[in-house]
Structure 1
Amino acid sequence: MNNVSAQAAKAVFSPLDLESRPLMWRVGAVLLGSLLLILSSYIEVPMYPVPVTMQTFAVTLIGALYGWRLGGLTIVAWLAEGAAGLPVFAGGAGGFAHFFGPTGGYLFAFVVVAMVVGWLAERGWNGHNVGLAFAAMLIGNALCLVLGAAWLAVMIGVEKAIVAGVLPFILGGILKSALAAAVLKAMTRRTERADT
């Protein structure tokens, strides 16, 4: 690979390269990302007051693959589906009431998380550097816990929010961050091989 094509490959932060695709590709990506989020919502370990799901895995991966704009838009589309009553949230739940319950802070946090991880990915914290990709995913998971627990604290108090809404999710957040970074690296490596 010559120097110009090496620089071009580095400039593309995502193996999907959605920014250079036609509008219909991006619309399809939003629909596919929404489907990934729905599926991740059904992988659940019931806990009170907030269940453990694979949603943060999906949210951080969507952010890293789609970038901050399209990643955020994808999460907003999924939230709109849930607000409309479609069974897209954890355990097949849906409805506007979920935005005001114990999980409301986490739901709103997902938009911020996808945008932050997407912004970092666009700046090199992506599949080209698995260590930075893992760090971006960890930041996303930590941000979700902080924002979600802040909302929960208003409902049940700070101490209970930390015990119920943060501590049980730390190990899972680390594991999901590692898995998302590994998937991102594998997708990037496959794309790089196809380009050579």
Structure 2
Amino acid sequence: MTHRSPDAPTRLLAAALEEFGAHGRAGARTDQIARRAGVNKQLIHYYYRTKQGLYEAAVAHAAEGAAGALGALPLVGLTAVERLRRLVRGQFDFLRTHPRHTAILLAADGEGRWADVAVKPVADLLRDGQATGFFRDDIEPEVHARLALLLALGYFAARPVSAGWGAAEQWRDRAAELVVRGCTW
């Protein structure tokens, strides 16, 4: 087993994301997380103190991954409205292609205020767009950014409801259009 190597915290987070995403907070086992990460179990306690501490770090890591993916989207040269549409679609695409991130975020009950991190790119765009007149001044950027995230998460949380809507891309595009129409003049 690898001991305190510089990448141990990164490997532990990746393993925790897999384990918590697959089995939930209660069902995940720290010995399995340590085994997946290739470290001894004591390193979980060294870096995160408790299973709960590791869980909160994994939730934060998932939210940061979602925000980071949005930050990496090519937005240069697009209007504010086109950027909003791309960000909302990008949220959905990230959640669809990262099922363990999605699972842990859906189960996260707001620990660590992870949603603040995940919605920041959309909220910032809405705020900036309001200042330049692209978006309605009677909306609350933070609230609408959270609604956009809820629309994306809703597809994965309520499969029986979303199943009859066709391909995932259709849900994504409809959600993006709903957000755009709600924020523009």
TM-score by length of 2: 0.45
- Larger C-alpha radius of gyration, 1 or 2? 2
